[in-house]
Homo-oligomer: A and B are copies of this chain.
Amino acid sequence: MKTAPLTLYGYWRSSAAYRLRIALNLKGLDYEQVAVNLKAGEQTTEAWLAQQPQGLVPVLKHGSQALVQSPAIVEWIEETWPEPALLPSAPADRAIVRGWAAVIGCDIHPLQNLRVLKAAAALDGQGMDSMKAWAQRWMVPGLRALNDMVRTAKRPGDFLWGEHPGLAEVYLVPQLYNARRWGVDVEEFPTLLAADIAARALPAFIDAAPENQPDAEAG
C-alpha cells in the first residue's frame, strides 16, 4: 500500500492544499500535482464533484483511494509514514498541538475562505472592501488568541513545538500567507511569526509555497 503513487489535486493558492504540500514534503514523500483551476470553476464540474461532492480542493489520491479534507489527510499521512513525526508522542502534548491546528483549521480559515468572503461581500455589496473587512474580522482575533495560547505552551526551539516543524507549522504557514494577503499586520503575533519565518526558510516549506507551484499566476 505504501508504494502506491500519490497524486495531489489542488490549487496553488488553496490553504488546504498548501498544508498538504508541506506535510508531504516534511515526510520526504514524492507526489504528483494536478491543478484544479478554481478561478475557471473546474471544481464545479460533474467529474470533480464525483470525487469531491463539496466542490472543494484538495483531494489526495493514493492508488485507487481518493482522500478528502486536509485535517483527515494530514492525520493519514502521519499514521502511514510516522517519521519524521508531525505530532509529539504523548497524548496530552498531541492534544495541545492539535488544538492549535484546530484554532486555524476550524475557527479562522473556514471564515476567510474565498467562498465565504464572496458571500459576506454579497450581503453588504461593498466588494473587495467587505471581503477584506470580513477576512480581518476573524483572522485578527483568532491569530491573537492563538499567539497567546502558543506563547504560554510552546517548547523551546525555533518552532511552535520545539526544534522541528510539525503539525502546528503545517497549519500556521498557510494561514499567515492568507493573513498577509488580506492586509493583516502579522507583526502583532510575534510568537507565531517567529515560527513562520523559521519554517519558511526550510526546503519543505519553500517547495510548498504558493508562488512556487506549477499553476501559480503572477500577482
| Interface residue ranges, A against B (CB under 8 Å) | 1, 53-56, 62, 65, 67-73, 75-76, 79-80, 91-92, 94-99, 101-103, 105-107, 109-111, 116, 119-120, 123-124, 130, 134, 137, 141-142, 144-146, 148-149
Shortest Cβ distance from A81 into B: residue: B91
Whole-angstrom distance from the CB of A71 to the nearest CB of chain B? 5
Given the complex of chains A and B, what is the CA–CA distance between A72 and B167 in angstroms? 12
A-B contact pairs, 21 of them (CB 8 A): A53-B144, A54-B107, A54-B145, A55-B145, A65-B92, A67-B95, A68-B103, A68-B149, A69-B103, A71-B105, A72-B94, A72-B95, A72-B96, A75-B94, A75-B95, A75-B98, A76-B98, A80-B91, A120-B120, A123-B124, A124-B124
Contact assessment for A91 and B106 in the assembled complex, using a CB-CB cutoff below 8 Å = no
Contact assessment for B98 and A71 in the assembled complex, using a CB-CB cutoff below 8 Å = yes
Measured between beta carbons, the chain B residues less than 8 angstroms from A94 are: 72, 75-76, 79
Additional 20 contacts, C-beta under 8 A, given A76-B92, A106-B110, A110-B110 = A53-B144, A53-B145, A53-B148, A53-B149, A67-B96, A68-B99, A69-B102, A69-B106, A72-B96, A72-B97, A72-B102, A75-B98, A79-B91, A79-B94, A106-B109, A110-B111, A111-B111, A120-B120, A120-B123, A123-B130
